[in-house]
Structure 1
Amino acid sequence: MTVLLQALLLKVLLFQIVASRSIINTLPGFPGELPFKLETGYVGVGDSDDVQLFYYFIESEGAPEYDPLVLWLSGGPGCSGFTALVYENIGPLSFDYADSIDSKPILKLNPHSWTKVANIIFIDAPVGTGFSYAKSWEEYPNLSDTISAAQTYQFLKKWLVDHSRFLSNPLYIGGDSYSGIVLPIIVQEISDGNEDGLEPPMNLQGYVLGNPVTDEDRDGNFKVLFAYLKALIPHGLYQSTKRNCQGEYVNVDPNNTLCLYDLELVNQCIQDLNAQQILEPKCNPPSFFSSNKDPIDLLLPSSQVSRPWCRAYNYISSFIWANDKTVQSALHVAEGSIKVWVRCNQSLGDSYVFDVSSSVGYHRNFTTKGYRVLIYSGDLDMEIPYVATSTWIESLNLTVENSWKPWFVNAQIAGYRVQYTSGNYELTYATIKGAGHTAPEYKPEEGLAMISRWFAYYPL
C-alpha cells in the first residue's frame, strides 16, 4: 500500500482532521517576508469537533524532513504556545522592545530559536488558551488534567494524519512548568496507542521538560532547602525549621506552633523575592485590561516612568500585538471566536480540575520503554527548585551513566548535568546556570546549545 493511500485511509478513519490551516508569509510588525515556514490552523477535537485547538507550526530551518518533530506545551494551565514561541526563545521570533517604543510592537528574528534543529508545533491548549475556543460554550467547564491530555493527544493524532510527511520524523513531546503534570499523561497515551496498534503510528522517541511541576506539595517542600542553599535564610533558621517541621513545609499540622513560627520567619525572608528568578525584581505589571489608558503607553522605557525594569512588562507587547485585528487576520484566527487574547488565561483555574496530584509514577513507567528524556532546570527558579526536580529523578533508582559535571558554552560553565540509564532508557538532567523558571527565556544561547547537542546525541 502506498504512503499516499495510507494517508487517505487514515483521513477517512479520523473524519474531519483540520478545520483550517494556512501558510503565513508575512506578519504585522515584521519587516518583509518571513524567512522560515510558518503555518497556523485549528484542529477539532472532542464531541463533534466542538473544541477547536489553535496551533503555530514552524518547520525546521535545518533539514525538516529528518529533524525531530516536537509538540510543545506551555504551562499554566492556560498559557498560549505563543509565549514559548516568542518569549522563551524556542521559536524564531521575538519582540524588538527598543524599536517598539511609541509604536506598535515590532518583531525581529531570534538567533537562538530551537527551530534551527527541530520542527515545532506550538499549541494553545487546553481550550480557552490563546486562540483556542469551543463552538458551543464559553466558560470551558469540565476541564481537567486528564481531559486536557486526552484532547491534546487527539489533536496530535489528527495533525499527524494531515501532515503525514512528518510521521517518520523522530517525535518528542516538550513543555515546561505545569506541563510537567499533563505532558507525561500525553506520553503515556501515545505509548499505549502505539502498543495497541492505533493509527497513526507515532515515532515517539522521548520527551523534554523544563522546570516541571511533578507534585506541587513535594515541589513546595523543597523551597526551604533552596532558600538555604541560596543564602536567603540563615543556617540556624534552616536547622530549626527542618527540626520543628520534620521536613513537611506545605501540609503543616496547625497545632505545630514551632513549625508555623519558623515558617513565618522563612516567609519574611523570601516573600518579597521574584520566585521565578530570585535575582530579578519582583513587580506587578499595570492592569491594562480595565484601564482607559492606551496600552501603547505602557511600552515607555523605564527612564520615563518611576518603576524598576521588570520582565513582566515585556509581556505587554504580546497583548497589544495579538489583540490587533490585522494580526488576527494575518494568523487566520476565526473571527469572533474569542473576546480578548491573553498570554496566560488565569480564569481557567476557576473551573479547572487538578485531578493528577503527581506525575512521578508516569516517569517511573517510562523507564521500561526505552525513551530518551531531557529534564532541565533554571537554577535560580524558586517556583520549582532544582533540588526538588533532582530528588524525584533520583527516586527513579536509575543507574548513573555519567556523573554530575559542568557543561560549557563558549568555554564557560553553562550549568551542570548528570546522565542516567536503565536498559535502553536514557535520562539527562541538566541545570542552566543563572536561569529562571522558563530557563531558555533567561539564557537563550545556552538553551539552544543544550537542545541542539541533546537532539544530536552529543554530550552536553
Structure 2
Amino acid sequence: MSRLVLPILFLIVVFEIIYPQPALAGLPVKYLPGFEGSLPFQLETGYIGVGEADEVQLFYYFIKSQSNPKIDPLIYWFTGGPGCSPLSAILYELGPVTLDIRAYNGSLPTLSLNPYAYTKVANMIFVDLPVGTGFSYATTQKANYSDDLQSAHYAYEFLRKWFVEHQEYLKNPFYVAGDSYSGITVPIVTEVISNGIDMGIKPWINLKGYILGNPLTFKDQDHYYRIHFARGMGLISNELYESSVNNCEGEYLHNGPTNSLCSSDMIMIEWLVKDIYQYNILEPPCELASYESRRSLIENIQKLKNPATHSGIKCRGQWHDLGLIWANDKNVQDALHVRKKTNGAWEECRSNISFGAIIDNTIPYHENLSRKGFRSLIYSGDHDMVVPFISTEAWITSLNYPIVVDWKPWIVDGQVAGYTRSYSNQMTFATVKGGGHTAPESKPVECFSMLKRWLSYEPL
C-alpha cells in the first residue's frame, strides 16, 4: 500500500504544475502578433473548468461590443464540426480582425480590422467546445469523452461560471448562435439554458432566442436534399435525378448492397460533383494541405512555411491554412494566454476528438423553443451543398407555423441580398444570395446587415 502512495502524490504534484487551476476571471489581450499596434477593441481570453472536479478546461474568447457593451446583446457563439474551433469564426467570418488574404511569404500571417464584424453591434463569447476542440482540454483521460448532451450541459455550466465574473452583462439580451454542426449544438444548449431559467437556477440569464447558419438539423436526410440541390443547380442531369429518386426511394445513404440501381446512380452523382467545392459551389476547390490529407500537423505546417507551395491564394482552403501557422505561433499563443503542454498543436477542426454524436434530429428542440416564445433567425447561404437551403426550408415548413410575412427579397445597398420569410413562432428564415456554408465568410456585408436588423427587431 505504501508503495502506491508516493507515486500517486508525485503525480498529483506534477499534474498541478502542468495543469494549474485557473481563476475564473479571464485575462485581457492588448496586442496580437500580426496586427499593427494595440487592439482597438476589448478582448479577453481564459479557461473555465467544468464537469467533475473541473476536469474539462474550456478555452474562451470574449469580445466586448464596439458600440455600447452595456446594453448591446450578448451572443454565445459555437462553431461546427464537431471539433471546429470558433477561432476560425473570429478570423474568417465575423470577428473584429481577419487574416489577410495574401500568399504566404515565410513570415507570420498578418491581421486587419474587419469592418463587418458582429462585434460592431454585439458582445460575443466564443468557446472551444466540445472538449478537445481548439485550446480546450481535459485533465483526465476519462474526461476527454463528450457527446451532444454532455457538451450542452458543459456549455451551460461554463456560462453560469462566466457570469459570476461578468455580472454586468446579466441584463443584456442573450442569444445562443452558431453554424454548421451547431445546428445540433445550439438548440440543445438553448433548451438547457431555458430549463435552468424555469427551474430558478442562478444566475438568471436574459435569454431571448438563438441564431443558426446553414444548420445541420437532421443528419441522414440532408443527403436527400443534396441530390435535389445538385439538380436545381444544374450539376446533374434531370434523367439521373429522376432515376435516383425512383431507384433509391429516399434511402440515399442506406440503400444496401441489394439495390444495385440506386448504388449505380449514387456513384454517378458522386463522380459528377467530385470536382465541385461543396461548401460553396461558386468557388474553386483546391488540394488542401490541411487536416483531411496530411500525415501530421507539424509536417503540414513545415510544408506551408515553404513559400514555393503558395505562389498565390487560389482557393479558400489556402487562406484557412494560414490560420494554422498563425494560431500555432508561440508568440500568438502567449498573447492569447494559452496554457502550454495541454492540447498539442491548434487545429481548425480536430478530427480525433472523443465525441459521441447521439442526437440526430433537433426539430423537437425547435418545437419546444417555439412553444416557449423564443425568437430565432435561421439563415442559409444558397450555394452551400453540404447543408442545402432547401433542407433547412423543409424542416422549418414541417413545424407548421402560420406564415406572417411571405417569401420576399431582402435588400442591402440597393441589391437583392437573399430572400426571407417569417412565421408566427417568431422564427425568421433567410437565404443569403451567393453565400456558402459559412455565409458571413463569403457574404460579410449582407450577413452583418441581416444580423444588425434582426437584433434590432427590424424586418430584414
TM-score computed with the length of structure 2 as normaliser: 0.91
Of residues 162, 169, 174, the one that matches 1:171 is 174
Aligned to 1:27: 32
Equivalent residue for 1:128, pick from 119, 128, 132: 132
Matching residue of 1:362: 365
Distance 1:292 1:301, change over 3 A: closer
1:343 maps to: 348
Contact 1:208 1:375 in 2 (8 A): yes
Partner of 1:7: none
CA gap 1:299/1:426 in 2 versus in 1, 3 angstroms: farther
Q: Which string of whole-angstrom CA distances, capped at 9 and with x for unpartnered residues, describes residues 353-379 of structure 1? A: 111111111011111111110001111
Q: In angstroms, what is the RMSD of aligned CA positions?
A: 1.9
Residue type at the aligned position of 2:227:
V
Quote how far apart the aligned CAs of 1:293 are.
7.2
Cα offset, 1:262, TM superposition: 1.9
Shift of 1:18: 4.6
Aligned 8 A contact 1:18 1:162 in 2? no
Q: Which string of whole-angstrom CA distances, capped at 9 and with x for unpartnered residues, describes residues 269-294 of structure 1?
A: 11221111112122232247253873
Q: Deviations over 1:99-141 (max 9, x none)?
A: 863321111100110000100001111111111111233x864
What is the alpha-carbon distance in structure 1 between the residues aligned to residue 349 and residue 272 of structure 2?
Answer: 28
Q: Secondary structure at the match of 2:305?
A: helix
What's the counterpart of residue 268 of structure 1?
A: 271
* Cα-to-partner distance string for 1:331-354 (whole Å, 9 max, x where unaligned): 111222222111111111xx3211
Match of residue 442 from structure 2: 442
Contact residue 299 and residue 316 of structure 1 kept, 8 A: no
The runs of 5 or more residues in structure 2 that have no matched partner are 1-20
Any gaps of 5 or more consecutive residues in structure 1? 1-15
Q: Aligned equivalents of 2:118 and 2:25: distance in 1? A: 25
> Secondary structure of 1:87's match?
helix
Aligned AA for 1:398?
Y
Query: Are residue 247 (structure 1) and residue 250 (structure 2) matched?
Result: yes
Is the Cα contact below 8 Å between 1:419 and 1:428 reproduced in 2? yes
**Is the CA contact 1:27–1:330 (under 8 Å) kept in the aligned structure 2?**
yes
Q: Distance in 2 between matches of 1:418 and 1:299?
A: 47
- Find the counterpart in structure 2 of residue 326 from structure 1: 331
Cα shift at 1:258: 2.2
AA paired with 2:317? Answer: A
- CA distance in 2 between counterparts of 1:161 and 1:290 reads 39
Q: 1:64 aligns with which of 56, 69, 84?
A: 69
Given that residues 138 and 144 in structure 2 are in contact (C-alpha distance below 8 angstroms), is that contact kept between their aligned partners in structure 1? no
2:98 aligned partner? 94
Number of positions where the alignment pairs a residue of Structure 1 with one of Structure 2: 435
Using the TM superposition, give the Cα deviation of residue 147 of structure 1 relative to its aligned residue in structure 2, in angstroms. Answer: 1.2
Amino acid across the alignment from 1:432: V
d(CA) in 2 for partners of 1:273, 1:99: 23
Verify the 8 A CA contact 2:146 2:355 in the aligned structure 1. Answer: yes
User: Does residue 312 in structure 1 map to residue 317 in structure 2?
Assistant: yes
Give the distance between the partners of 2:211 and 2:233, measured in 1 at CA: 26
Amino acid at match of 2:446: E
Superposed, which structure 2 residues align to 1:33-182 within 5 Å? 33-88=38-93, 90-98=94-102, 101-137=105-141, 141-182=144-185
2: distance between equivalents of 1:299 and 1:18?
42
Q: Is the aligned partner of 1:291 residue 2:299? A: yes
- Equivalent-residue separation in structure 1 for 2:27 and 2:240 (angstroms): 58
Which has the larger displacement, 377-386 or 95-104?
A: 95-104
State the identity as a percent: 46
- Match in the other structure for 1:230: 233
